[in-house]
Amino acid sequence: MSAAPLYKPAPRDPARSFQDMILTLHDFWSAEAGCVILQPYDMRMGAGTFHTATTLRALGPEPWNAAFVQPCRRPTDGRYGENPNRLQHYYQYQVILKPSPSDIQELYLKSLSAIGIDPLAHDIRFVEDDWESPTLGAWGLGWEVWCDGMEVTQFTYFQQMGGFDCKPVAGELTYGLERLAMYIQSVDNVYDLAFNASGVSYGDVFLENERQMSKWNFEVADTDALFDLFAKAEAECRNALSAGVPIAAYEQAVEASHVFNLLQARGVISVQERASYMGRVRDLARSSCEAYAQKMTPEWEAKYPEWSLV
């Protein structure tokens, strides 16, 4: 029996392939920061920050380094596939490093150079941008990172999550993958991006999806059913909370948040109602984070005797 031919992967080519850029980032964060490379959370959400690997893991004293791609859904940003820069579904690349390492900025800049951005050819800047998510009871300080004037990454030191001080503080990096790729590949239209190096474009993969989903988000989605879904998610979140399973509760909060975004896109929530719905989502998310932190606290305190939740 002859041995199977030895497999040798082709070198990554982030300048010509969207997926190679992602794979390069995976390679980089796996090797340089010992990150676990996770897969996307299997739910519809508005931002990578909602992934439990970010929100819930930002709580508590235990170190946690993770990197993952998260598809994000922003129904109101849909443009029926007609705008070269705006999508109702796009990708974020999230890195969460807890506690924030002292060389986190250097690591980040190195990751940019790994995907082909030379900081002497391109003007990289850290511009103040503080982050706040009332929905998650969270805030942090940091920057938006500019590359030749374009915001390519959100860089945040989490200070609070779920209303609790982060102890320790986590550093969160959120790369806008399509924007970065458009930059690296020098294309002006997102649908022209090379998805891989074998001739498949981003448009081949997603253009029809954008058309149909924009139509559904704005025109088709049954609003009665959405209101119903919202109410059910809210009720289920409470149910899970009272049963002591806050992760399940948190998922329902994420669900409610997305359904609310769909209702917004359908234009059926008035200005006055909007604040009330946002308050309800906030209440669910915060309660879930709080319940999670409280449930985990005995375990955390046992491992870290110096540590306390508040």
Q: Looking at 11-19, 38-46, 119-127, 287-295, which segment touches other proteins (CB under 8 A)?
A: 119-127
Rounded to 5 degrees, φ, ψ at 163 are 85, -5
Closer CB to other proteins, 219 or 273, in the complex: 273
Closer CB to other proteins, 179 or 238, in the complex: 179
Closer CB to other proteins, 97 or 240, in the complex: 97
Q: Looking at 88-96, 123-131, 207-215, 216-224, which segment touches other proteins (CB under 8 A)?
A: 123-131
Output the smallest distance, CB 102 to other proteins, in A: 6
Whole-number Å distance between alpha carbons of 81 and 90: 12
Binders of other proteins among residues 25 to 84 (CB under 8 A) are 61, 84
Binders of other proteins among residues 218 to 277 (CB under 8 A) are 270-272
Closer CB to other proteins, 88 or 252, in the complex: 88
Among 105, 196, 209, 264, binds other proteins (CB under 8 A): 105
Interaction pattern, residues 133-172, with other proteins; x per rule: CB under 8 A: -------xxxx---xxxx------x-x-----xxxxx-x-
Contact yes or no for 104/158 (Cβ under 8 A): no
Among 6, 39, 128, 199, binds other proteins (CB under 8 A): 128
**By the rule CB under 8 A, 95 interacts with other proteins:** no
DSSP characters over the chain:
-PPPPPP-PPPP-TTT-HHHHHHHHHHHHHHHH--EEEPPPSS--SSGGGSTTTHHHHSSSS-EEEEEEEEEE-GGG--TT--SS--SEEEEEEEEEESPPTTHHHHHHHHHHHTT--TTTS-EEEEE--EEEGGGTEEEEEEEEEETTEEEEEEEEEEEETTEEPSS--EEEEEEHHHHHHHHHT-SSGGGSBSSTTS-BHHHHHHHHHHHHHHIIIIIS-HHHHHHHHHHHHHHHHHHHHTT-HHHHHHHHHHHHHHHHHHHHTT-S-HHHHHHHHHHHHHHHHHHHHHHHHHHHHHHHHH-TT----
Closer CB to other proteins, 39 or 102, in the complex: 102
**By the rule CB under 8 A, 127 interacts with other proteins:** yes
Among 1, 6, 9, 188, binds other proteins (CB under 8 A): 188
Closer CB to other proteins, 173 or 256, in the complex: 173
Residues that bind other proteins in the complex, under the rule CB under 8 A: 61, 84-85, 99-102, 105, 109, 118-128, 130, 140-143, 147-150, 157, 159, 165-169, 171, 183, 188, 270-272, 304, 306-307
